[in-house]
Amino acid sequence: MMNYSKIVLKHFRNPHNLGKITKPDGVGEVGNMACGDVMRLYIKVKDDRIEDIKFETYGCAAAIATSSAVTDMAKGKTLDEVLKLDYEQVIKDLGGLPPIKVHCSLLAIDALDEAIYEYLVKNKREIPRDLEIKHQKILTRGRH
Ligand code: FES
């Protein structure tokens, strides 16, 4: 058994915001090339805030725990605030991750960025430069 922190295990055993949103405003789907696991994240946006957020993943305990934590952090925040979330902060808030599991924590943040990207494109909104760069990187790595 991996040496996970108590917070990681708590999220893993009882993940928050697990599931699917019907008629989402944006969907982000990414894959982890290292292990082949996949994550799909759905958002509902109202007045530029994340009104609702859910995720589905075929991932390990670290991926599930980080997704649970990331979706908690994103709910109710503005899109600008959410785009500033970074995986190092998420790992810190979770009490750390075993080094070989750090790559798993990227899935949730990447999927969230992709969901916001899709939302902005669908609504013909300007894409922030940083988000465009992240999107291109995710495309280059391959979705799954
Ligand atoms: S091993 Fe695949 S997401 Fe963690």
Q: Which domains does the chain have, with CATH numbers?
A: 6-141 (3.90.1010.10)
29-33, 45-49, 138-142, range with the lowest pLDDT: 138-142
Q: In the structure, which protein residues have their CB atom closer than 6 angstroms to any atom of ligand 1?
A: 32, 35, 37, 59-60, 62-63, 104, 107
Report the distance separating Cα 106 and Cα 108, nearest Å: 6
Provide the percentage of residues in the chain whose pLDDT is more than 90. Answer: 81
* Measured distance CA(144)–CA(138) in Å, rounded: 10
How many Å apart are CA 94 and CA 19, to the nearest integer?
A: 21
Q: What are phi and psi of 56, to 5 degrees?
A: -130, 135
For residues 107 and 67, the answer to whether their CB atoms sit within 8 Å is yes
pLDDT of residue 63 exceeding 60, the answer is yes
Model pLDDT, residue 1: 63
DSSP E strands in the chain: the ranges are 26-31, 38-46, 49-58
Average pLDDT over residues 120-138: 96
Ligand 1 centre to CA of 52 (Å) is 25
Q: Where are the beta strands (DSSP E) in 47-115?
A: 49-58
**Mean pLDDT (whole number) for 113-137:** 96
- pTM of the complete model beyond 0.75: yes
